[in-house]
Structures are given as structure tokens and as C-alpha cells.
Structure 1
Amino acid sequence: MPTGVVLRDVREQLFDAADRVLLREGPSALTSRAVTTEAGCAKGVLHRHFDDFDHFLAEFVLDRVDRMDAQAAALGRAAGTGTVTGNLATALTALFGSVAVAIVALVTFRDELRSRLRRTWPAGVPVLTEAVTMIASYLTAERNLGRLTANADIDTLAPTLIGAGHLLFADRTGTPPEADAVGKMVTAVIAGVLPEPLP
């Protein structure tokens, strides 16, 4: 591998390379050599920008969590439009159709990574806890608009949707679930808090 390759945004290119390796081969294949090979740069490039590979992975995970802000904003803007079920199904498909599922497996797979993340993220798996916050915020907005019943238990519904969504999408090697399957799951979870239609 040439050592003189100029990378405009080294971190972003390495993170994008990690995305591709994770999605294609899973967490066990994610090594510093795999990332730098995928990025087309020398292995030393990664170690010039990060203390070690677990430092790189921790920064990678937190960067991908930060990217969820755009998804959260889009879901927030959807409140009051379309259907609650459709909006949730779309958001969950976008979330779990991305690298999020692979990141959950990565955090579970690497003890040192979990330890490093605990320094700045005290509880839960970062991608999942951020996703719960995103869904809870949306559900709260819909409840405030009267599109969910006033007694809708957001603190239970949000993690239930994320957990059920994760289970649907967790098989990295299988075919992703059909839109109907995602919609059916969302409907089952929120059916009890949708207001009765007017006669």
C-alpha cells in the first residue's frame, strides 16, 4: 500500500471504510488492516490519528451516533403528517437498514470498545439508546398533537419499537424484512395507543 496517499478528511474516509467492512463482512472482520486497505491507505495512517484501534472504533461509533441527528430531525418534522405507523416504519427501516445493526454487534463483540464507550456513554449501547430517544421524541410530539392517546406510555413504547425493530433487522446475512413486516410490527406495538377513528 503506498504511504504517500493524500487523504482530504482522514477520519471520515477511515470511518466510511469501516462502514463498508462492517456491512459487508461483520464485526469480526473489522481490523485496522481491513479498514486501511478498504480506505486505500497505509496502516500507519490510522495510528497517526488515533491512539490505537479501539480508540478509532470508539470515535467511529460516536460519529455514527452523531449522524443520527439528521434522522431524528426528519422524523420530528414528520409529526402530524402521514400516519404514525408509516412514519415509524420508515424511520426504523432507515435506522436499521444502515450500519446501526452492525454497530450494535460490534459493541457487543469488543470488550475494550465497550469499556472506552462507558467513559462518555454511561449506559446502554450508543446507537440503540440514541434511537430510543429519537423515537420517544417523535411519539411525544404525536401524543401532543392528539394522534396518540393521552395515556400513551412513551417510555415503554419507544424501547419496545427499537427492540422489535432490531430483532427484525438483526440477521446481517439474510434478506432485509419487507416493508409489510416492519409495518405489521409497528402496528402491533402501537395499536393500543392509536385513537379510535371518529364515527
Structure 2
Amino acid sequence: MPTGVHLRDVRKQLFEAAERVLLREGPNALTSRAVTAEADVAKGVLHRHFTDFDEFLAELVKERIARLKDQSALLQASAGTRTVAENVIDALAELFDPVSLGLMSLTFFRDELRKRLRHQGNGLPLLVEAREMLSAYLTAERAQGRIAADAEVESLALSLIGGGHLLFAGRKKHTLPDPTELQKLVNTVIADALQRRLL
């Protein structure tokens, strides 16, 4: 690798390589050797910038969490537009992309990775932030009177994230749930909160 390459560029190159490995081969194939081979850099490059592979993975997850915060801001801005169900369906479909699902799986099975991310909050990283994203969005919709004033947004968000994760995770590689499954889940979870706003 040429000297003088900025650290951010190396990190980006390695993160993008890790995402390609996750997409192509799944979380079990994600090793430091696989990442450096995919990035076409020497094996020692990763360890020059990260103390070990778990630190690399933790930083990769934090990058995804940062993206999720951007998604959360856009979702909150969408409150009052389209329907609540449409906004939630799109948010879940974007949230549970194959890379994020792979990272969720890694955090579940790698104790050391979870320890390093523990300061992010209780629960599994990414899923915790996803729940917060939906809670904030539903709170905004509640403030606009589009869901019931007494809707328990934390519970709704938890149900949507848990159900969405079950729909998307564990499927054959490169397959997505039928859109009607996701619509049915979202409509079922939020039906009461939508109906009671009219009472």
C-alpha cells in the first residue's frame, strides 16, 4: 500500500471489503484474512490500524450505527407524510439489509464484540438503535395525532423491530420476505394505535 494514504481511506477500504464478504459469503466467512484479501492489501494492514479483529468489527458496527442515526433523522422528518404504515415498512426494509443482518448475527455470537459495544446501550447493537429510531418516529406521529395519544410507542417499536428481524433473518441468501408479509406485520402491530386515534 502506498505510504501517505490517510487512515480514513484505509478504514473505508477495509469496511467496504468486509461488507462485500458479508454479502457474498455471510458472517461466518468474515475473518481478518478474508477482509484483507478482499481489500487487496497486506495482511498486516488491518492490525496496523486496529488492535485486533474484534476492534475492527466494533468500528464496523459503529459505522452502521452512524448510518442508522442518519436514517432515523430522515424517518422523523417523514412524520406526517404518506401513511404511518408506509413509512415504517420502508424503514424496516432499509434497516434489515443483508449487511446489517450479518452484523447483527456477529454481535449475537461474538461475546468480545458485544463487550466492546456494550457502552452503546443494553441489548444487541443495531437492534437497540433501530428500536430507538422507530420510537422517535412514532412519537413524532403521535404528536401530530396520526396515532392514538396514549399509544405506547416503545412497545410498538419493540414489536416492529422484533417481528421485522424474524421476517428478514434466517432466510436463504439473497432472498427477501414477500412484501405482503412485511405489510401484514406492520399493519397488525400498529392497527390499534391507528384506529384509536379516531375515537
- Regarding TM over 0.5, the answer is yes
Tell whether 2:117 aligns with 1:128: no
User: Higher relative contact order at CA 8 Å, sep ≥6: structure 1 or structure 2?
Assistant: 1
Q: Report SS of the residue matched to 1:57.
A: helix
5+ unaligned residues in a row in structure 2: which ranges? none
1:24-60 deviations in whole A, cap 9, x for unaligned?
2122111000001111111111011000111111111
The CA distance in 2 between the partners of 1:197 and 1:141, in whole Å, is 14
Q: Which moved more, 1:150-159 or 1:19-28?
A: 19-28
Q: Report SS of the residue matched to 1:194.
A: helix
1:71 maps to 71
What is the one-letter code of the residue matched to 1:110? R
Q: Is the contact between residue 85 and residue 187 of structure 1 (CA under 8 Å) also seen in structure 2?
A: yes
1:169 maps to 168
Matches within 5 A, 1:1-199: 4=2, 9-118=9-118, 120-174=119-173, 175-195=175-195
Output the aligned Cα RMSD.
1.8
Q: Report SS of the residue matched to 2:195.
A: coil
Q: Which moved more, 1:13-22 or 1:47-56?
A: 13-22
Q: Is the contact between residue 102 and residue 172 of structure 1 (CA under 8 Å) also seen in structure 2?
A: no
What is the one-letter code of the residue matched to 1:99? V
The CA distance in 1 between the partners of 2:84 and 2:158, in whole Å, is 16
TM-score when normalising by structure 1: 0.91
Q: Is the contact between residue 21 and residue 35 of structure 1 (CA under 8 Å) also seen in structure 2?
A: yes
Q: Which moved more, 1:189-198 or 1:155-164?
A: 189-198
Q: Is the contact between residue 101 and residue 170 of structure 1 (CA under 8 Å) also seen in structure 2?
A: yes
Report the structure, 1 or 2, having the larger helix content: 2
Offset of residue 74 of structure 1: 1.4
Q: Is the contact between residue 7 and residue 13 of structure 1 (CA under 8 Å) also seen in structure 2?
A: no
The percent of aligned pairs where both chains have the same amino acid is: 54
